[in-house]
Amino acid sequence: MNRTDKEEYIFGSILLLANKLQIWGDNMIPDLTLKQWFLLILISKMGIQNPTVKEVADFTGTSRQNTKKMLEQLEIKEYISISKSKKDARALNVTLSRKTF
């Protein structure tokens, strides 16, 4: 097996493991996907009271649009609430609900 074959094997194995973890995680909590669950954990660890959508996106390393879409799904499920910021009319604040804890 040459170096390229080994790299392809390792990369493929990592992707397969990631897929298996995703499936396992999605079945852990019936109401949440693994990504939604992980996003809630990250928000709770940010150390910021009611972070903005942009702050959450920056903290997680994802785009604001993708973060907002996930947050909207979590709001429908009542894990968070999204409200206009009192400090900046353009910003939206994220608040974890009691259901999250």
pLDDT for residue 101 is more than 90: no
- Is a pLDDT exceeding 90 seen at residue 29? no
Residue 79 pLDDT exceeds 90? yes
Mean pLDDT computed over 19-45: 92
State percent of the chain over pLDDT 70: 100
DSSP 81: E
Beta bridge partners of 96: 80
Torsional class of 49: left (φ above 0), alpha (ψ -120 to 50), beta (otherwise): beta
Number of Cβ within 10 Å of residue 92's Cβ equals: 17
> For helices 64-76 and 53-60, what crossing angle results, to 10°?
110
